[in-house]
């Protein structure tokens, strides 16, 4: 039996374990998916030592960046983003396993937003500057959309929420929320953008998927904007991870 798993801390609300084990059962795949809830990334060494039958790992918060020094190689997307959420166990020299890091978030986001894009979507705002925002930034660039981060604090090459003027909102017609603001149970919260400046020409994408329709999406839809949550991205990045492990 092949073994796959998830590195992170905490993992109580993990999507991956149920998804993959249901997939293995439905498709009669002789494999199991387990959670490795480790309080320190250095414990990855013990995980690898104690599980020689591992064929692949997913990586979630807070280790998408911290795991990189423990890998032998990075895919180009993962290198540019500076974050890894899929580790493939490849054959290295002298029969030794080689750990290769990938980022399937970029695949999931690109594939899920692409059908909604129009020629007028030339510039995008990314709310938040955390790990997920990096994958969105590089995805938008690959889709020929000029991305700009929005942060609560002043940072280089970032706008603040106070700087989202009517001129900015008119110019940036794609807005992606990569923050946890509005996630269950705090469903009455939403990112502090000027919703009254949204139009039917805007596309607003929330990486959150619990609840299905966040307040960010509701307030945007009320202005006629196109809205989308992150559930499809979650599924697509899982599909991509499976393909990476088995290619």
Which of 2, 23, 42, 64 is labelled catalytic?
64
Burial (CB < 10 A; 0-12, 13-18, 19+), residue 210, is: middle
Q: Are 177 and 127 in contact (CB under 8 A)?
A: yes
For the chain, how many residues are written?
A: 247
228 is catalytic: no
Cβ count near 54 (within 10 Å): 19
**For tokens 């002043």, what's the residue?**
154
Residue 236 parent element (H or E): helix 231-246
Q: Are 109 and 233 in contact (CB under 8 A)?
A: yes
Which phi and psi (to 5°) does residue 102 adopt? Answer: -130, 165
Alpha helices in the chain (DSSP H): 16-26, 44-50, 76-81, 105-113, 131-142, 166-171, 215-221, 231-246
Say which DSSP state 13 is in: T
Q: Number of C-alpha atoms within 13 angstroms, CB side, residue 94?
A: 0
**Residues labelled catalytic:** 64
């Amino acid at each position: 039996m092949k073994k796959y798993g998830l590195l992170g801390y905490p993992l109580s609300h993990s999507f991956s374990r149920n998804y993959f084990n249901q997939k293995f059962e439905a498709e009669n795949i002789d494999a199991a998916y387990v959670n490795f809830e480790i309080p320190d990334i250095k414990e990855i060494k013990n995980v690898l030592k104690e599980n020689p039958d591992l064929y692949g790992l997913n990586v979630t918060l807070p280790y998408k960046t911290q795991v990189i020094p423990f890998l032998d190689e990075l895919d180009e997307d993962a290198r540019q983003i500076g974050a890894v959420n899929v580790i493939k166990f490849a054959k290295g020299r002298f029969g030794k396993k080689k750990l290769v890091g990938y980022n399937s978030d970029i695949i999931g986001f690109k594939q899920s937003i692409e059908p909604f894009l129009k020629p007028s979507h030339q510039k995008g705002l990314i709310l938040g500057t955390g790990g997920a925002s990096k994958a969105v930034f590089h995805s938008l660039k690959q889709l020929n959309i000029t991305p700009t981060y929005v942060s609560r604090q002043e940072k280089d090459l970032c706008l603040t929420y106070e700087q989202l003027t009517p001129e900015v909102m008119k110019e940036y017609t794609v807005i992606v929320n990569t923050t946890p603001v509005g996630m269950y149970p705090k469903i009455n919260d939403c990112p502090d953008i000027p919703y009254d400046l949204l139009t039917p020409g805007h596309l607003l994408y929330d990486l959150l998927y619990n609840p299905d329709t966040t307040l960010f999406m509701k307030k945007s839809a009320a202005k006629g904007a196109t809205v989308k949550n992150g559930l499809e991205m979650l599924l697509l990045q899982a599909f991509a991870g499976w393909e990476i492990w088995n290619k």
